[in-house]
Amino acid sequence: MKIKFLGHATFLLTAADGTAVITDPYEPHGFGGAIGHGPIQDRADIVTVSHDHADHNHARGVPGNPQVIQSVGEHAAKGVSITGVPTHHDSSGGSQRGHNIVFVIAVDGVRVCHLGDLGHPLTQDQAKALGEVDVLLVPVGGTFTVDATGASAVVQALDPKIVIPMHFKTPKVKLPLAPVDTFLAGQSNVRRAGASEVEITRDTLPAHREIIVLEPAF
């Protein structure tokens, strides 16, 4: 499987057979230009949407007429198994920013967990419902989601083999977020890929947890 960081919280997961899943597609130049990424150019068979905010729900802008999954529970599409677990966008049960769905997407035997805009620590029941996580796509910028400390706690709770940060401040994201370096401070086994894409297989998952920082593609 290939994982490509398109920007903000949007990733393209491509299976060995070419099946493509895009997570939380942003609206290009949304929020008055605060999201500075350009249009998504990669096609998808499936799109997952964690919640209905413009920097996460722009499925209509994804080429390929994909099937859109935006509900909790078990889903199967194009040979891909997807589990949605209900969470919240804030630490007040959703009263401030609403609800959020965490998705686990199984591709080529690798379980990828996309946290969306998770705004609170995971409960034991939520962690159990998510099950084994090989690759964790975790927001780290704070303000609207867990911050660096909260993200680290979620990493400890889910114990993934690979962690890929998302939803942080960059030259193209002008929301009031912390940069990725805030999360990386004090972390071990960090690899800056210097590219937007990484290939991961079940056989090449690291024995010890690795943090991979990808560059946005757009």
Strand pairing partners for 85?
A: 102
Residue with tokens 């096609």: 43
Identify the pLDDT of residue 31: 85
Integer Cα distance of 29 and 37 in angstroms: 6
DSSP-derived letter for residue 20 is E
pLDDT tens digits, one per residue of 58-111: 999 999 999 999 999 999 999 899 999 999 998 888 888 879 999 999 999 999
Cα distances from 37 to residues 30, 60, 83, 163, 173, in angstroms, run 9, 16, 28, 23, 8
- Arithmetic mean of pLDDT, 37-42: 95
Q: What confidence score (pLDDT) does residue 82 get?
A: 98
Q: Regarding beta strands 190-192 and 197-199, do their DSSP bridges make them parallel or antiparallel, or are they unpaired?
A: unpaired
**Quick check: 154 and 164 in contact, CB under 8 A?**
no
Judge contact between 202 and 132, C-beta under 8 A: no
Residue with tokens 């960059």: 170
pLDDT of residue 157: 97
What structural domains and CATH numbers belong to the chain? 2-213 (3.60.15.10)
Longest dimension (CA), the chain: 43
**Distance, CA of 79 to CA of 16 (rounded, Å):** 12
What is the structure's pLDDT at 203?
A: 96
Q: What are the pLDDT digits (tens) for 162-216?
A: 999 999 999 999 999 999 999 999 999 999 999 999 999 999 999 999 999 999 9
